[in-house]
Amino acid sequence: MKILIASDLYPPFASGVSTVAENLGSGLAKSGHKVTILTIGESLKETVEEKENLKIIRLPSLGIPFREGIRFFPPLILKVRKIMKKESPEVVNIQSLFGVGIAAFIAAKEEKIPIVGTNNILPENVSGFLRNIDFFEDLVDKGLWAFNRFFYQRCNFLTTPTQTGLAVLKKHIKGERMEAISSGIDLSKFGKRLYTYEKAKERLGLKNLPVILFVGRLAAEKRVDFLLRSFQQVRERLESILVVVGTGPEETILRNLVKGLSLEKDVVFAGYVTEEKLKEYYEAANVFALPSKAELQGIVCLEAATYGVPLVGANSVALPELVRNNETGFLFDPESEADLTEKLLMVLSDKDLQEKLGQGAIRIARAHDLSVTIKKYERVFQKCVEESKYQPTNL
């Protein structure tokens, strides 16, 4: 098949959606499909990269002043129309409903190409920076769901990475043409441990102490400030280190918070790291913490799990599908820093429990093999092509 995947977020921009779009595109290309990725670049110049069966078109973009690292694709619908005609895909997959996704949606509709929408983002991920203004946050959430509903109900099919995400979609979107398909994890790239905990820490220049690891964008919705305050309580009872991997708009705020909490010697900001270096951080970690309350799956949780790292996550949205109490880790009350502290200490202070939870994490990660995800998407894409005959079907 000829498949076009539209995603405003794509590497080198670091996010879960970026990883999902990259893995899906490369996986489909390896399976013999002709794949075009339509995304935004980092300048006002369009660029094209071509590999075997995979073409990456990066459209011109502008920076967004109040969201560091995020860029916006101007409404150049004429350019996207030309690309859609030239690439002539049999099916279009929309990974994000921002500038590129919306333009691709419109162009695909005009060409009568079936569309599979993938819901990777909750409105809370977008409105998170308004979290201290409840009225505005609720208003934005409702508006975003109305916006999503308009587009998703005009897709031929919808996918979302978890059963929890599917239940959320069904609450807001009418119809049955939707399915939960895991984002998947490439087990050929992740999960092969090369070093012991001690050796990995040595290679990373970390003290040989218990390590709590966070990986993700340093943005309001990820609630790293919540984790930092909880870690202060952990540190008072157990000598340990918190490693924060990632960058984002809240980095300065978080660094200042670390100073205010007198944790400068105990918190490591690793910044953006390569995939190979990221694997070493997973190998050095004794527990992985994810305090976000708005995760539709948590790709970084899956990555950590492949290395047998116990998971401690907020009991919110889809995280309970991966973080299972006393099996892969522990859930904590998302409103209680004290509960997060207790769950982290529970894992860090018991090596036998770490081993047990780590083995459970590996088992659940293996159930999300990317090869299975690719086969499921192939089935959905083929079904849409055959059933629609290029005629859009409303949900």
Query: Hey, which residues does 215 pair with through a beta bridge?
Result: 245
For 286-316, how does the pLDDT look when each residue is reduced to its tens digit (9 = 90+)?
Answer: 999 999 998 888 899 999 999 999 999 999 9
> How many percent of the chain have pLDDT more than 90?
76
What is the rounded CA–CA span in Å between residue 395 and residue 392? 10
pLDDT band of 124, cuts 50, 70, 90: low
Q: The domain 197-366: what is its CATH number?
A: 3.40.50.2000
DSSP H/E element including 320: none
For 368-379, how does the pLDDT look when each residue is reduced to its tens digit (9 = 90+)?
Answer: 999 999 999 999
What is the rounded CA–CA span in Å between residue 37 and residue 59? 11
pLDDT at 131: 47
DSSP H/E element including 194: none
The residue type found at 356 is: K
pLDDT at 145: 81
For 46-103, how does the pLDDT look when each residue is reduced to its tens digit (9 = 90+)?
Answer: 999 999 999 999 998 877 765 655 666 776 789 999 999 999 999 999 998 888 999 9
Whether the Cβ atoms of residue 314 and residue 230 lie closer than 8 Å to each other: no
pLDDT band of 42, cuts 50, 70, 90: confident
Is residue 291 reached through a cis peptide bond, with omega within 30 degrees of 0 on the bond before it?
Answer: no
For 128-178, how does the pLDDT look when each residue is reduced to its tens digit (9 = 90+)?
Answer: 544 454 555 667 777 888 888 899 999 999 999 999 999 999 998 888 899
What are the distances in angstroms from CA 178 to CA 1, 3, 20, 141?
Answer: 21, 19, 18, 22
pLDDT at 155: 95
- In terms of phi and psi (left: phi > 0; alpha: psi -120 to 50; beta: otherwise), the region of 289 is beta
DSSP H/E element including 117: strand 115-118
For 101-118, how does the pLDDT look when each residue is reduced to its tens digit (9 = 90+)?
Answer: 999 999 999 999 999 999
Which has the closest alpha carbon to 222: 290, 270, 285, 136? Answer: 290
The residue type found at 268 is: V
For 175-198, how does the pLDDT look when each residue is reduced to its tens digit (9 = 90+)?
Answer: 889 999 999 999 999 999 999 999
pLDDT at 365: 96
pLDDT at 69: 58
What is the rounded CA–CA span in Å between residue 377 and residue 159? 9
pLDDT band of 205, cuts 50, 70, 90: very high
CA angle at 123 for the pair 121 and 127, rounded to the nearest 5°? 120
Which has the closest alpha carbon to 179: 189, 170, 187, 190? Answer: 170
Whether the Cβ atoms of residue 143 and residue 121 lie closer than 8 Å to each other: no
What's the sign of the alpha-carbon dihedral 190, 192, 196, 199? negative
Burial class (CB in 10 A: 0-12, 13-18, 19+), 48: exposed
pLDDT at 260: 98
pLDDT at 193: 92
3 state SS of 163: helix
What is the rounded CA–CA span in Å between residue 42 and residue 65? 14
- Sequence-ordered list of residues with C-beta below 8 angstroms from that of 391, at least 6 positions apart, any chain: 112
pLDDT band of 395, cuts 50, 70, 90: very low
Q: Taking all residues of the chain, what is their mean pLDDT, rounded to a whole number?
A: 91
pLDDT at 305: 98
Long-range contacts of 173-178 (CB under 8 A, 24+ apart): 173/148, 173/149, 173/395, 174/395, 175/394, 175/395, 176/395, 177/393, 177/395, 178/395
Q: Where in the chain is the domain with CATH 3.40.50.2000?
A: 2-184+369-388, 197-366
What is the rounded CA–CA span in Å between residue 211 and residue 304? 13
What is the rounded CA–CA span in Å between residue 72 and residue 98? 8
What is the rounded CA–CA span in Å between residue 8 and residue 11? 10
pLDDT at 61: 82
Homologous superfamily of 2-184+369-388: Glycogen Phosphorylase B; (3.40.50.2000)
- Sequence-ordered list of residues with C-beta below 8 angstroms from that of 340, at least 6 positions apart, any chain: 226, 227, 230, 289, 291, 312, 332, 333
For 211-268, how does the pLDDT look when each residue is reduced to its tens digit (9 = 90+)?
Answer: 999 999 999 989 999 999 999 999 999 999 999 999 999 999 999 999 999 999 999 9
For 317-348, how does the pLDDT look when each residue is reduced to its tens digit (9 = 90+)?
Answer: 999 999 999 999 999 999 999 999 999 999 99
Token readout for 252 is: 């300065």
What is the rounded CA–CA span in Å between residue 306 and residue 15? 19
Whether the Cβ atoms of residue 46 and residue 61 lie closer than 8 Å to each other: no
pLDDT at 68: 58
Cα radius of gyration (the chain): 21
What is the rounded CA–CA span in Å between residue 106 and residue 258? 46
CA angle at 373 for the pair 372 and 379, rounded to the nearest 5°? 90
Kindly report the number of other CB atoms within 10 A of residue 185's CB atom.
24
